[in-house]
Chains A and B, each alone.
Chain A
Amino acid sequence: QGQLVESGGGLVKPGGSLRLSCAASGFTFSDYYMAWIRQAPGKGLEWVSYISPSDTTIYYVDSVKGRFTISRDNAKNSLYLQMNSLRAEDTAIYYCARDRFYVGNDYWGQGTLVTVSS
């Protein structure tokens, strides 16, 4: 059974930066697309970004384009999200999830909270 563990969340001021990490285990990480999905406090889910197994395909939702960068290190079974120019509206729990084409997100981490506030 796959496991995902996020880290790197915290409190940051508007305009600041943060780098989230996600450690994967229990499946062949290098075979799968991986995604970041976020949830603002008390709100619904927002699909943010994903990356293909070999980095050739990357997608971002419009609200984070130019500010967030997704990356992965298959040798370390790790997924990353570099977040720059953070805004209050980026405050959310950020989940790392395995992404399967046409199926959905079948493995999720426990989430890491990012709070953007002065």
Chain B
Amino acid sequence: EIVLTQSPATLSLSPGDRATLSCRASQSVSSFLAWYQQKPGQAPRLLIYDASNRATGIPARFSGSGSGTDFTLTISSLEPEDFAVYYCQQRSNWPPYTFGQGTKLEIK
């Protein structure tokens, strides 16, 4: 089973700041990595797939990069609605399609 480790666990920033979230895989997942956003009381929402492709309706301030074992989600300029928990998920060859433990992005 592929293990995903996200860092930091918590990120405290202000609106307008740039956010950089990291996800590291225990073995290569090629580019098959997705990112999700989850707000309190809501289901997760797909943000990024294939490491760098934005899902339908996702604003351009969200971008993803990386391949192999190291991936980054960047939010270029934080909006108030971006404060949430973010998860990465590997989608390589075969299940289980494991998730990282999450990064909480909170208002400083």
- Chain A contact residues, CB within 8 Å of chain B: 35, 44-47, 50, 59, 61, 95, 100-106, 108-111
Contacts and interface: CB of A to CB of B under 8 A. Distances in A.
Contacts, number: 61
Given A44-B100, A44-B102, A105 B44 contact: yes
Given A45-B99, A47-B98, A103 B91 contact: yes
A44 B5 CA distance: 12
A32 to B, nearest CB: 14
Binding site of A, secondary structure by majority: helix, strand, loop or mixed?
strand
A22 B94 CA distance: 24
A105 B46 contact: yes
Binding site of B, secondary structure by majority: helix, strand, loop or mixed?
loop
Interface of B: 32, 34, 36, 38, 43-46, 49-50, 55-56, 87, 89, 91, 94-102
Nearest to A35: B97
B74 to A, nearest CB: 18
A54 B71 CA distance: 34
A58 to B, nearest CB: 10
